[in-house]
Amino acid sequence: MKYLALFVLSMLLLSFSISTNNISAQGFQNNENKIEISSDIQILDVSDIFGGHITWVIKGEIAKELREAIGEKYNVNSIDLGTASHYFKGDLEKVVENNKFGCGYIGTIRITRADPLHGDTQGILNSEEDVNGLVGSINSTKPITLKMLIRGEPAGEKMPVTSKNITLAPFYALVNNASAMKKFSLQSVKIEVKHMETLAGLGNFELSPGTFTLRLVLGQFFMASSGSVEYCTFDPINSPLVLFTVYIVAVILITVFNKKFKEGKENTLFSKKAKRFNNATKVALFFAYLAIPLSGIWFILITAVTVVAAVLYLKKIYSV
């Protein structure tokens, strides 16, 4: 179990490192007309805790257009921290929280509260850390990075990993209706999405086929840039805890039958061969549990077939 915990922790840290490094390294390299959105959600379902972060990196001419729209709304030629705070708190947060223009949903949750990532206890924007690059002349094309802390509740249905509306929320925040979005040159903008979620509890994720997922003993983890996802409460067929229990039962059965068949043959060549096969089968099942994105019923069936085949093979080895 100690090695399982270390393996899971290392995978999560690696995935987090890859995601955050891509944002910091790629977000400031050039002035390509581009919007990068990176988001992560953490769910602790036994305590009804649903929250995470969203980071927008806006680059090129579209960043200048965003500044100009803020300057037009607040009648300024240069954006200071006060104006940036009004935009973040008064415009961006409200459009994300209030589901305006279809915003408000990301991954498995409906957003009910949004604040600056590094804001104070009242969620007040006190520094440029969460609006990096926004403060300054409205004519600048310097990249803009917006960082938001979010909280929410289960969406209750299968939703896109990251909708186009939440991706463009910084722009929707500055218009009164969807048709007014034509003022921004968004048709030429390249959009890059990175989203990941970690679930700790008895529930599970229902994911689009082909989405990378990692089952934990008490939860699940996935990374995606497209597709759809839904958070599901305890499901006796698909819950990672139930499937891990199936794996443990399979290991016990294979071990028990191996010991039964090898009684009186501990020193034979067959015993050593069976031991290697026994261990290889357990490892194969373990990685199947972790990384193969199969529905629960398929994993249970494959595990059952593997156990039966393993027992028959062990019996054949010892009967030689």
For the residues 22-44, what does the mean pLDDT come to? 70
Report the pLDDT value the prediction gives residue 86, as an integer from 0 to 100. 92
Q: What backbone torsions phi and psi does residue 143 show, to the nearest 5 degrees? A: -55, 145
Does the pTM surpass 0.85? The reply is: no
- Confidence band, pLDDT 50/70/90 cuts, at residue 269: low
- Domain boundary, last residue among 232, 261, 295: 232
Structural domain of 114: 2-232
What are the residues whose beta carbons fall under 8 Å from the beta carbon of 208, sequence distance 6 or more?
224, 226, 227, 228, 229
Same structural domain, 160 and 78: yes
Same structural domain, 269 and 192: no
Same structural domain, 128 and 245: no
CA distance 142 to 29: 11
Same structural domain, 69 and 172: yes
H or E, element range at 105? strand 105-106
Q: Is the pLDDT of residue 14 over 60?
A: no
For the residues 11-27, what does the mean pLDDT come to? 39
Same structural domain, 126 and 221: yes
Same structural domain, 134 and 213: yes
- Confidence band, pLDDT 50/70/90 cuts, at residue 270: low
Same structural domain, 63 and 110: yes
Same structural domain, 213 and 181: yes
H or E, element range at 154? strand 144-154
Taking CA atoms, 55 is separated from 78, 130, 204, 209, in Å, by 23, 9, 25, 26
**Are the C-beta atoms of 240 and 45 separated by less than 8 Å?**
no
- Confidence band, pLDDT 50/70/90 cuts, at residue 84: very high
Pairing of β 49-59 and β 144-154: antiparallel
pLDDT tens, 135-170? 999 999 899 999 999 999 998 888 888 888 899 999
Report the pLDDT value the prediction gives residue 9, as an integer from 0 to 100. 44
Same structural domain, 292 and 220: no
Report the pLDDT value the prediction gives residue 3, as an integer from 0 to 100. 40
Same structural domain, 271 and 201: no
∠ Cα 31 34 37 (to 5°): 130
Q: Is the pLDDT of residue 10 over 70?
A: no
- Domain boundary, last residue among 196, 213, 232: 232
Same structural domain, 150 and 264: no
Same structural domain, 209 and 301: no
Taking CA atoms, 122 is separated from 3, 55, 289, in Å, by 41, 20, 43
What are the residues whose beta carbons fall under 8 Å from the beta carbon of 184, sequence distance 6 or more?
62, 65, 66, 69, 171
Closest alpha carbon to 176 in 74, 99, 100: 100
Q: What backbone torsions phi and psi does residue 120 show, to the nearest 5 degrees? A: -80, -170
Number of domains in the chain: 2
Looking at per-residue confidence, does 282 or 210 come out higher?
A: 282
- Domain boundary, last residue among 184, 216, 232: 232
| 3-state secondary structure at position 149 | strand
H or E, element range at 58? strand 49-59
